[in-house]
Structure 1
Amino acid sequence: KNYLRHRNLTLEFSERVNVIAGISDGGKSSILEAMKWPLKNTQGFGFRYDPVIAGDKGPAPKKEEMTSTILNFDDGTLMRQRNERGVNQYILNDDLKNPLEDLRKIPDEVTRLANIDEYNFQEQHDTYFLLQDTPGEVARKLNRVSGLTLIDSSTKKIEAMESAVSGEIKQSKKVIEEKEERIQGLDFLDRAEPLIGAIEKSITQREEFRKRRDTITSIVETLEDLTRKKEEVEDWLEVEKPYEELQALVDQREKEAERRKALSDLVSQIERTESEKKGVDEFLLIETPYNEICSLLHEKQDLREKRTRLVDLVKNIEETTGDLSLYTAHLEKLKKTYLEALQKAGVCPTCGTRWDKMDKKTLRRHLG
Structure 2
Amino acid sequence: MIKQLRIQNFRSHKNTKLEFVKGVNCIVGLPDSGKTNIIRAINWALTNRPLGFRFHSNFAKGPTAVDIDFEEGNQISLVKSKSESGYVCNEKEFRAIGSDVPDEVSRISNITELNLQTQMDKPFLICESPGEVAKVFNRVSKLEKPDLVIASLTTDINSKNKQIKILSLDKIEFEEKLKRFENLPQMKNDLDEIEQIENKRQKIKNEIDELFSMIENIEAVKKIMENMIDVDKARKELVSINKLYTEIANEQKKHMSLQDIITSTEEVEDKMQNIKMDYKDIQKDFGKFLKTIRICPYCEKCKEPISAHNLDKFIKVELA
What is the TM-score with the length of structure 1 in the denominator?
0.43
The structure that has the greater radius of gyration is: 2
Higher fraction of strand:
2
What is the TM-score with the length of structure 2 in the denominator?
0.48
